[in-house]
Homo-oligomer: A and B are copies of this chain.
Amino acid sequence: MPDTGLLESFANPSADRDYVIEHVTEEFTSVCPKTGHPDFAVVTMRYCPDHQCVELKSLKLYYQSFRNEGIFYEAVTNTISDDLVILTQPRWLQVVTDWKGRGGIRSQITVNHGPVPIGI
């Protein structure tokens, strides 16, 4: 199971200001719940922190906890978004997953939480 207990946050050092943090990994894999075959994605997470930031090493371990999980593209993307919103209560958050092709079709899922910051 994706393990939210792995996620850690730290206090935003510049909480008086709107700014944007982006983390990209090309090393995400989960398993298709229908076929049992592995899926591979590039996961991009962008957010405007409020009081808490995501700790980077804990994010890596959290992503790794999807490795042997049978879960659909849409659920991966919404789950990551939901878990990070609960953890950090960001002013804005966006999760984009880019999946390598299956049956000749590549897919991308984009989830937004909160209003896009001005000037980003």
Contacts and interface: CB of A to CB of B under 8 A. Distances in A.
> Could you say how many copies of this chain the assembly holds?
10
Contact of A57 (B14, B53, B103, B119): B103
A13 B33 CA distance: 14
A79 to B, nearest CB: 9
Nearest to A25: B105
A3 interface: no
Interface residues of A, number: 51
A60 B104 contact: yes
A74 B56 contact: no
A53 to B, nearest CB: 7
Closest 5 interchain pairs by CB? A27-B104, A22-B108, A19-B111, A20-B110, A60-B103
